[in-house]
Structure 1
Amino acid sequence: EHQIGIKNAVEICLKKSGYGGQTKLVFHKKAKTTKKIVLRLQCQGCKHVSQHPIKRCKHFEIGGDKKGKGTSLF
């Protein structure tokens, strides 16, 4: 399976190289701007790993500074 992918990549490189411009399309439109945040929780006893997805967000921080009463975060 891996060898087929390498052969295909070599064929594409050979086709793209040389005179005649871009023969294969290059995909530029990336639809997603955020990633899904996934928590990897591991059991202390049996070392079993479970993954829990959270919502999509651009920035995610665990254990950041807590905002106290009457204080600002910045």
Structure 2
Amino acid sequence: MTFLMEYELAKTSEAGGMIRAKVFSFTRLAWSILQQTGGANRQFVTSTGIQMLLRKVIEEEKEKFKVFKKSE
């Protein structure tokens, strides 16, 4: 798909070509943005970490959760 878009961009350009134009798929665009902003180097929370965070929030806010009050 991106090759076809690059071809269309080059074909319809009044300059007869393209300079600095990039055509990305959404996945490649996201990867490029992460690379440029340093987000690809960040550590993300694992599924175990998410479970730990949820457990902590539930424990701290258990009075607000009627369903979890019964599980004590």
Which structure shows the bigger proportion of residues in helix conformation?
A: 2
TM-score in same-fold range (> 0.5)? no
Q: Which has the higher strand share?
A: 1
TM-score class normalised by the smaller sequence: under 0.3
TM-score by length of 2: 0.18
